[in-house]
Amino acid sequence: MNYLWLIFIAMAGLFYYNTIGWLIESWINNPYYSHGFLVPFVSGYILFSTRKELAGVELKQYNAGIALFIGGIFLHGVGVLWTARFISGLSLIAVISGMILFLFGWNFLRKIIFPILFLLLMIPLPFVDIVAPSAQTISVVFSSNLANLVDIPVQREGLELHLQTGSFEVGVPCSGLRSIVSLIMIAALYAFILEGGMMMKLIIVISSIPLALAGNILRITSVLAVASKYGQEVALNYFHDFSSILFFVVSLSGLIFVGRCFGRLKFKKIF
């Protein structure tokens, strides 16, 4: 069994050397995935915390794991052929799952399925060009409407918001995508450690998207409010960066509240 494990690791290292390098480079340079370094450590800690439970699982080789492993390698080849590195990243999860399934069996894999799937959150997906326009539009429209609702005169032209004291363009960095990606990761971990049914966990994870968008809308509106009263320079130079942290905490509080709506919060003992 041990030598098989070493063979699988050597094969995975051979095939995924460049992919792992790309992941690390993306975590350093891609602002949407700067949390990527944390994901393997979080998954590793969860695995470590379940070591006693895993010790009691009967180990049994499952031949379907070979098919999953080969399928992952094939998917990796597709990613290389199409120069779509995110496909290679996704295939790495399939390869890891195939190794575990073959060597230790289905019951073992089922026990650790969350930390395995959690690794998906470290893989940069080409979502920015697809999601950014919608996120920008939602943020601009709702922010301008909310500002006007609270007597802050704002005129909207496309992705630009105009005040008497200045104009603001809601670019991709201000679309809320970074908050969405970060809050999804936190929501997945929160849902895992929270005791409850699968539907509750799914609702918590899904709710992270509108909560992150709502926090971003409030952030933009608050920047407009500061600009309206104190000027554009104060809003951008002194309040803008602080507002990102402030309203992410607001979104995070909303996420905790969603979990609380299902009853008293009870957490798994993983610490």
Closest CA to 256 of 198, 176, 177, 189: 189
* Averaged pLDDT score across all residues of the chain: 91
Residue with tokens 């995935």: 33
pLDDT (average), residues 82-100: 93
Q: Return all residues near 52 (Cβ < 8 A) that are at least 6 apart.
A: none
Whole-number pLDDT of residue 1:
53
User: Higher pLDDT residue, 208 or 172?
Assistant: 208
pLDDT above 70: percentage of residues in the chain: 99
Q: CA 167, CA 202: separation in Å to the nearest integer?
A: 39
Residue 58 has pLDDT above 60, yes or no: yes
Q: CA 210, CA 167: separation in Å to the nearest integer?
A: 26
Q: CA 236, CA 240: separation in Å to the nearest integer?
A: 5
Whole-number pLDDT of residue 130:
84
Rounded to whole angstroms, the maximal C-alpha distance in the chain is: 72
* 255 CB burial (10 A radius; 0-12, 13-18, 19+): buried
Q: CA 267, CA 175: separation in Å to the nearest integer?
A: 33
Closest CA to 224 of 157, 170, 158: 170
Q: CA 145, CA 45: separation in Å to the nearest integer?
A: 44
Q: CA 101, CA 201: separation in Å to the nearest integer?
A: 25
28-to-36, 117, 124, 235 alpha-carbon distances in Å: 9, 22, 12, 29
Give the least confident one: 98-102, 193-197, 266-270.
266-270
41-to-20, 116, 124, 154, 222 alpha-carbon distances in Å: 15, 12, 17, 45, 35
Residue 191 has pLDDT above 70, yes or no: yes
pLDDT (average), residues 186-206: 94
pLDDT band at 270 (very low <50, low <70, confident <90, very high): low
Strand locations in 114-261 (E):
155-157, 160-163, 166-169
